[in-house]
Structure 1
Amino acid sequence: MKYTCLATFLATALMATASAHAQTYPSKPIKAIVPFAAGSATDQIGRAFVQKMSEQLGQPIVIENKAGVNGMLGADAVAKSAPDGYTLMVGTNSTNAALKSLMKKLPYDQDTAFAPIGYMGSVPLIVAVNNDVPVKNLKELVAAAKAKPTQLTFASASTSQRVSTEVLMSMSGIQMTHVPYKSGPAAMTDLIGGQVNLFTADFAVMLPQVKAGKIRGLAVTSTQRSKAIPELPTVNEALGLKDYELIAYFAMFAPAGTPADVIAKLNKALNAAAADKDIIDKFSAIGFETSPGTPEALAQRNKAETAKWAKAIRDAKIEAE
């Protein structure tokens, strides 16, 4: 009887503590880990979102860039953080869908390590080449690659960048040599400089350079042309394909075990940011479309995306590292 009373008391005390925490949350600055480099699309979009969220929550949210291994290093840091709502992650299809199929062993369980907060939005990618590569469109690129297998090189600094190109190669029957980079901006610098021939990356990294004439855009990876650069065909249009589509998406997560009341507060602030006119106007030019929703909707979407990326990686015959 004594132990039963003690257990009841402890359970009640824990519930009261959790409730009090949720009511006072947030009472100090919050850290949001971006698992990619400063200047990347994830970084730019993450910074804009957390600024609006901090206005809603009444506490600053400080971005920490922790890049490496396709986002794994940053994701691992979040997975192992205290589930108290003070460490968040601006996640992507790399960290929360594809890594499971790209790595032989992750230092955390991708399916259970994170609590979904909410979906932020998505953006297509642009396939582009260095200006000195003698091709004007994707058909010519495929012909050049078939004429000289493995001689053309392609850069990648994230899962979406690599898989989008690998799937393109698989579907068009060509071979190019992969050159991995630690960050999208670094890969872009080498694409402009001619150290690498081709790069497929998000609009935030690509579009300014394409419009400035520093690189040559060949196609977009979505199923519809982008309003931001309507002159570029889709990969499907350019090559007469039907089923090619690979886009990058962004979402926010907390460590698993973060209290539901805290998740609800964060979700409300995130959705307010996703509906904010400033954010919509700022990023529509790079093809970004916001999509507010519930944590449960993100969980379902993530499950479907994990299966989609697993198939893409399998079909492209990319071996886990």
Structure 2
Amino acid sequence: MRRSTATRLLTLVLALGATALAHAQDYPSKVITMVVPFAAGGPTDTVARLLAQAMSGALKQQIIVENVGGAGGTLGAGRVARAAPDGYTILLHHIGQSTAPALYRKLPYDPLKDYEYIGLVTEVPMTLVARKDFPPKDFKELIAYVKANKDKVTYANAGLGSASHLCGTLFMSAIGTPLTTVPYKGTGPAMNDLLGGQVDFMCDQTTNTTSQIRAGKIKVYGVTTKTRVPALPDVPTLHEAGLPNFEVTVWHGLYAPKGTPKPVVDKLSAALKVALQDATVKQRFADLGTEPVALDRATPEALREHLKREIDKWGPILKQAGVYAD
């Protein structure tokens, strides 16, 4: 009886393995959906659309981008965590994947347990920008102005847990001044209101601000990296401008639901590497103030390790700041 049961189990395992292998060999045989957990028009959406087009060519199958915004990116991330593990629903998320565990007491998924990792994509600098007619002329004046008008100044962000929220939290902590925050469902809508003068300033990725800065449509006070950004050579770092050691970069990673077959993940990771070497992607990233990660970081192992380090880094910072959602 025991031998018969063991034989049946072995047969079942082998059958499942053969089915998974056949699936992987045929993959992809239909359109793939890349979920972006933020509104259309934002910086992560921009990265996703460039990546999806290049990966579509590498996989010889269309990848469409679907925006599932809300709750600081957790709605879209949760949707992918619950999706069928077949490689046809994948997630492009940013640093918010590492801050969510500290921000949400009842997070409906575990970033470290509910995904297969495909690879890192890019690390994007951020910029501190304001509406075109905001009174302060430079960073020094900005600090003095917001401290003197802290009850009137409005800071826009893309919602709890977003990169703009994190950057704003660190900025307010660094200058010791809490400000009125205006949350949006993405930095795309927030940027629209900044351009329209409905909010005063925000911290946003260069992928969303570089063209607006160059066109003179918004005012910029600094970048959040240790060194200046080649796409914006005249813009000082916030460290240079007077905020010592202030640094925030926004990394993006690509994920699949837990249980996605390894051969499928490997195909997606290989396509990611091809996309990151695409001349158009490199040029568009450069125009937006960023660049692809090195190919040895566009791997499942590198993303897994990076995510773990980032969770360990930001968890204590957010806990100390007392920022969380129910």
Instruction: Give the TM bin, normalised by the shorter chain.
Output: over 0.9
Q: Does 1:296 align with 2:301?
A: yes
Residue identity matched to 2:40: A
Match in the other structure for 1:319: 324
Residue identity matched to 1:283: F
Q: Does the 8 Å CA contact 1:34/1:63 hold for their aligned counterparts?
A: yes
Match in the other structure for 1:310: 315
Q: Distance in 1 between matches of 2:243 and 2:261?
A: 49
Residue identity matched to 1:11: V
Residue in structure 2 matching 1:246, options 245, 248, 253: 248
Q: CA deviation at 1:115?
A: 0.8
Q: Does the 8 Å CA contact 1:32/1:88 hold for their aligned counterparts?
A: yes
Match in the other structure for 1:102: 103
Match in the other structure for 1:201: 204
Q: Distance in 2 between matches of 1:259 and 1:251?
A: 18
Residue identity matched to 2:229: S
- Bigger drift between 19-28 and 268-277 goes to 19-28
Structure 2: runs of 5+ lacking an equivalent: none
Match in the other structure for 2:183: 180
Q: Distance in 1 between matches of 2:213 and 2:103?
A: 29
Q: Distance in 2 between matches of 1:141 and 1:176?
A: 13
Q: Does the 8 Å CA contact 1:154/1:179 hold for their aligned counterparts?
A: yes
Match in the other structure for 1:131: 132
Q: CA deviation at 1:108?
A: 1.3
Match in the other structure for 2:219: 216
Match in the other structure for 1:270: 272
Residue identity matched to 2:122: G
Residue in structure 1 matching 2:29, options 19, 27, 30: 27
Residue identity matched to 1:221: T
The structure-2 alpha-carbon separation of the partners of 1:250 and 1:104, relative to structure 1 and needing over 3 Å to count, comes to same
Q: CA deviation at 1:173?
A: 1.4
Q: Does the 8 Å CA contact 1:170/1:315 hold for their aligned counterparts?
A: no
Match in the other structure for 1:154: 155
Residue identity matched to 1:212: A
Q: Distance in 2 between matches of 1:41 and 1:148?
A: 29
Q: CA deviation at 1:66?
A: 0.9
The structure-2 alpha-carbon separation of the partners of 1:311 and 1:245, relative to structure 1 and needing over 3 Å to count, comes to farther
In structure 2, the residue corresponding to 1:290 is in which secondary structure?
Answer: coil
In structure 2, the residue corresponding to 1:289 is in which secondary structure?
Answer: coil
Q: Does the 8 Å CA contact 2:39/2:187 hold for their aligned counterparts?
A: yes
Q: Distance in 2 between matches of 1:103 and 1:248?
A: 20
Structure 1: runs of 5+ lacking an equivalent: none
Q: Does the 8 Å CA contact 1:126/1:217 hold for their aligned counterparts?
A: yes
Q: Does 1:165 align with 2:168?
A: yes
Q: CA deviation at 1:317?
A: 3.6
Match in the other structure for 2:70: 68
Match in the other structure for 1:144: 145
In structure 2, the residue corresponding to 1:64 is in which secondary structure?
Answer: strand
In structure 2, the residue corresponding to 1:118 is in which secondary structure?
Answer: strand
Residue in structure 2 matching 1:259, options 258, 261, 285: 261
Q: Does the 8 Å CA contact 2:119/2:269 hold for their aligned counterparts?
A: yes
Match in the other structure for 2:50: 48
Q: CA deviation at 1:42?
A: 1.4
Residue identity matched to 1:253: Y
User: Over residues 169-213 of structure 1, what are the superposed CA-to-partner deviations in whole Å (9 max), with x where a residue is unaligned?
Assistant: 111212211110112121112112222111111112212222222
Q: CA deviation at 1:107?
A: 1.3
Residue identity matched to 2:184: Y
Q: Does the 8 Å CA contact 2:43/2:188 hold for their aligned counterparts?
A: no
Q: Does the 8 Å CA contact 2:85/2:257 hold for their aligned counterparts?
A: yes
In structure 2, the residue corresponding to 1:124 is in which secondary structure?
Answer: strand
In structure 2, the residue corresponding to 1:84 is in which secondary structure?
Answer: coil
How many residues are aligned here? 319
Task: Please tell me the root mean square deviation across aligned C-alpha atoms, in Å.
Answer: 1.4
Q: Does the 8 Å CA contact 1:145/1:175 hold for their aligned counterparts?
A: no
Q: Distance in 2 between matches of 1:275 and 1:315?
A: 40
Q: Distance in 2 between matches of 1:200 and 1:173?
A: 17
Structure 1 runs of 4+ with >3 Å offset: 314-317
Q: Distance in 1 between matches of 2:287 and 2:56?
A: 24
TM-score normalised over the length of structure 2: 0.94
Q: Does the 8 Å CA contact 1:101/1:320 hold for their aligned counterparts?
A: no
Q: Distance in 2 between matches of 1:259 and 1:113?
A: 14
Q: Distance in 1 between matches of 2:72 and 2:257?
A: 19
In structure 1, the residue corresponding to 2:128 is in which secondary structure?
Answer: strand
Q: Does the 8 Å CA contact 2:269/2:299 hold for their aligned counterparts?
A: yes
Q: Distance in 1 between matches of 2:191 and 2:11?
A: 59
In structure 1, the residue corresponding to 2:120 is in which secondary structure?
Answer: strand
Q: CA deviation at 1:315?
A: 4.4
